[in-house]
Amino acid sequence: ADRIRNYVSAGGGLIIFPGTDTDPSNYNARLLGPMSLPEIRGTTGGGDGESGLYFREIDFDHPLFSTIFEKTERAVDPRRLSPRIIRSLDLRPTPRSRSVITLSNGGGFFLEQPVGSGRVVLFSCAPILGWSDFPVKGLFAPLVYRTVAYLASGSDRLEQFTVGSTASITLRRPAALPQGTQYTLTIPGGTEEFITPLATGSGLRFATPVLTLP
């Protein structure tokens, strides 16, 4: 658990799927709680036939969905795109997490949260047929694939800063940089200026003076 936390804090990406033997108290105490991630409140669902949980809301503005859904699909009831979920962990968003897909009981199906310089994605449903038919839905493969690429790239992060404060962003260090690589910062007025990053253990840290423009 310590190695996982250190990896994510230094800029790594982590996907968490539950399993049939997941121990909620152990996850909460050793991994989720220390990382200030949404903790497992229990297990919900369980049933046959038409019972179970379904998608209530999908955040189509998330970068992951930029090419998965057609415009016509974004206008339909999320329930029509949902797998039939008969078992799920009860995960509730924290103030720092983003509920990308919300379930009919208000819990999260797909949650994302920054941790240090990295990001964590939590799925509340195990990818097995005993929990839902999600693994055989058309959404499963592209969503998992794009999530892996999204977390590995580190390039789709959206940072927010307040005018009057300084801005600092740490990006992963490329495997190889040409000699004399230079970076420029473009401010909202269109002016470009050179910026020199500070090399740290987690990557390249770019810092700016006090921000004067929104």
The per-residue pLDDT for range 27-66, each reduced to its tens digit, is 999 999 999 999 999 988 754 445 688 999 998 878 777 6
Copy the structure tokens of residue 113.
């949260």
Portion of the chain with pLDDT greater than 90, in percent: 38
Residue 69, helix vs strand vs coil: coil
The per-residue pLDDT for range 168-209, each reduced to its tens digit, is 877 766 656 676 788 888 888 788 888 888 877 657 788 888
Q: What band does 72 get if pLDDT is binned at 50, 70 and 90?
A: low
Residue bearing the bigger pLDDT, 16 or 191: 16
* Average pLDDT of span 104-124: 92
The pTM (predicted TM-score) of the whole model is: 0.69
Q: What band does 80 get if pLDDT is binned at 50, 70 and 90?
A: confident
CA-CA distance, 172 to 153, in Å (whole number)?
9
Q: What are phi and psi of 63, to 5 degrees?
A: -55, -25
CA-CA distance, 88 to 106, in Å (whole number)?
12
